[in-house]
Amino acid sequence: MSGSAATYLSPLPRAGATKAIRKVTVKVDCMTAGNESLTTAKAGFLEPLSILARQRESWSVALLPGLLMRALANMGTLHQVFQLLMLQPFAQAARANPRFAFKYLTHDYLVQGFKVAERAACFLHHYRRMHATLPDYLLQQILQGDVTVHTIPECGNQFSLSMGYSRAYDKEGELSINLLVDGDVVFLLSFTIVPGWVVKSQAAEALLITRIQGMKGCYNQVHLATRTMHDVAPAALLLAALQAIASAFGISGLAAVCAFRQSSYSKELAGTFKTAYDDFFVEPGLPKNTAGFFVTQIPIEGKPLSSIKQGHKLRTRDKRAFKLQIQSAVARFFAQDSVLTATRELPVEMQAPPVQCG
């Protein structure tokens, strides 16, 4: 047995005082079987965690004791994460954002209800897959900013689709596809490449959709984009683009979170979440499994035209044709010789749950 302990200071409200401090010491024993690399992982873990503890504007110090306990109780997983973060450009991303290495340890990472093993499996699978498939320059650009995958100049306005790291709400999905109007993001869809077993999908891996949202104050731009793009709603447009990304990566499964498992779900806004998630995925006929995920194969077949009301079929055909154009355009971006390399060997760990200890 080996022991690990760390001490952090966290705020504790106290009557008559503007600021009080309590000392929190967490000690977790974990069988390491003499593996020195796990000891190295512990040491490597504590340094960025201490940096994170000082960044109170972006991370609650009150979360640190629980986060530390979960990390030390799953040292095998922690070791895998730190091995991954030794690769460029992940090392650079972790230095720039200390939260990057610890997101999977928070309870609401990706969806509500995931266990540590499931959250870690998603994080590891996603970035191993990205590293194995994309060239370093593009992976670095995605982690640091956004990559434009398609541009649509229409009627004096410019509409474009971009893909990049979900910076503002990175707990709700590792990547986002964004709809931009004249350079401003007005709508986004966030997703992560996950192993199929995590979402109870029969596919080996799936794109897991965990956030669909329009930007506050952008109603006019969203309305303009919808009207211009053959009345295809932004969420449906981004879902079409996502299918092209899945095909480019060779991923056959699609999963989407239901309303009550969405990371930010609240009972007070239950109706809003149901409309944004459940109703949206039910409309094209995606079935929901017992785990609370809408799952399907890619491409999404959609409802047969015979089930569409008379008088709406022509409009439906037009919208479907436009979405196919978007898919083809996004697919062409990833079909470029310099974009998808597929030269690195995919790690065997990608299809297995992460090792746990404790």
Has residue 47 got a pLDDT over 70?
Answer: no
User: What's residue 114's pLDDT?
Assistant: 94
- Please tell me the pTM assigned to this model: 0.80
Has residue 267 got a pLDDT over 90?
Answer: yes
User: What's residue 46's pLDDT?
Assistant: 53
Q: Tell how far CA 286 is from the center of its chain.
A: 20
User: What's residue 2's pLDDT?
Assistant: 45
60 and 207 housed in the same domain = no
Upper half-sphere CA count for residue 179 (Cβ side, 13 Å): 30
Q: Which residue type is seen at 134?
A: L
**Dist CA 153 CA 238 (whole Å):** 17
- Comparing 18-32, 38-52, 336-350, the range with the smallest average pLDDT is 18-32
**223 vs 358, residue with greater confidence:** 223
Residue 61 resides in a domain: yes
75 and 140 housed in the same domain = no
Q: Is 86 left (phi over 0), alpha (psi -120 to 50) or beta?
A: alpha
Residue 176 resides in a domain: yes
Strand, helix or coil at 26? strand
Residue 27: which pLDDT band, with cuts at 50, 70 and 90? very low
Render 303-337 in DSSP notation, one character per residue.
--GGGSPTTTHHHHHHHHHHHHHHHHHHHHHHHST
323 with 161: CB under 8 angstroms? Answer: no
71 and 197 housed in the same domain = no
Last residue of a domain, one of 32, 56, 80: 80
Structure confidence by residue, pLDDT tens digits, 68-86: 777 776 777 878 888 898 8
Structure confidence by residue, pLDDT tens digits, 275-316: 999 999 999 899 999 999 999 999 998 777 777 777 678 888
140 and 76 housed in the same domain = no
62 and 140 housed in the same domain = no
Residue 60 resides in a domain: yes
User: What's residue 56's pLDDT?
Assistant: 53
Has residue 265 got a pLDDT over 50?
Answer: yes
- Calculate what percentage of the chain has a pLDDT beyond 90: 51
63 and 204 housed in the same domain = no
Residue 352 resides in a domain: no
Q: Are strands 157-165 and 2-11 parallel, antiparallel or unpaired?
A: unpaired
201 and 290 housed in the same domain = yes
Last residue of a domain, one of 48, 63, 80: 80
Residue 297 resides in a domain: yes
Residue 92: which pLDDT band, with cuts at 50, 70 and 90? confident
345 DSSP assignment: P
155 and 67 housed in the same domain = no
45 and 153 housed in the same domain = no
User: What's residue 51's pLDDT?
Assistant: 53
Has residue 249 got a pLDDT over 70?
Answer: yes
126 with 176: CB under 8 angstroms? Answer: no
191 and 293 housed in the same domain = yes
Task: Give how many domains the chain has, as a whole number.
Answer: 2
190 with 282: CB under 8 angstroms? Answer: no
**202 vs 313, residue with greater confidence:** 202
135 with 341: CB under 8 angstroms? Answer: yes
73 and 142 housed in the same domain = no
* Structure-token match 């709700």, residue found: 172
What is the rounded average pLDDT of the residues 185-199?
97
What is the rounded average pLDDT of the residues 80-101?
85
Residue 50 resides in a domain: yes
Q: Tell how far CA 4 is from the center of its chain.
A: 31
Has residue 35 got a pLDDT over 70?
Answer: no
According to the per-residue pLDDT averaged within each range, which of 2-11, 36-45, 147-156 is highest? Answer: 147-156
User: What's residue 61's pLDDT?
Assistant: 57
Instruction: List, in sequence order, the alpha helices (H) in the chain.
Output: 36-54, 64-73, 75-84, 90-96, 116-133, 136-144, 219-228, 234-249, 270-273, 280-282, 313-335
Strand, helix or coil at 20? coil
Structural domain boundaries, residue 60: 2-80
Last residue of a domain, one of 80, 112, 144: 80
Residue 341: which pLDDT band, with cuts at 50, 70 and 90? low
Q: Tell how far CA 136 is from the center of its chain.
A: 20
- Comparing 165-169, 182-186, 341-345, the range with the smallest average pLDDT is 341-345
Residue 301 resides in a domain: yes
User: What's residue 55's pLDDT?
Assistant: 54
* Structure-token match 């092209």, residue found: 244
Strand, helix or coil at 186? strand
Residue 112 resides in a domain: no
Which strand ranges, in their side-by-side order, compose the sheet holding 146-154?
Answer: 146-154, 157-165, 175-181, 184-195, 205-214, 253-257, 293-297
174 and 322 housed in the same domain = yes
Please, what is the average pLDDT of the chain? 80
The Cα-based distances of 44 to 22, 37, 81, 237, 315 in angstroms read 25, 10, 11, 42, 57
User: What's residue 226's pLDDT?
Assistant: 94
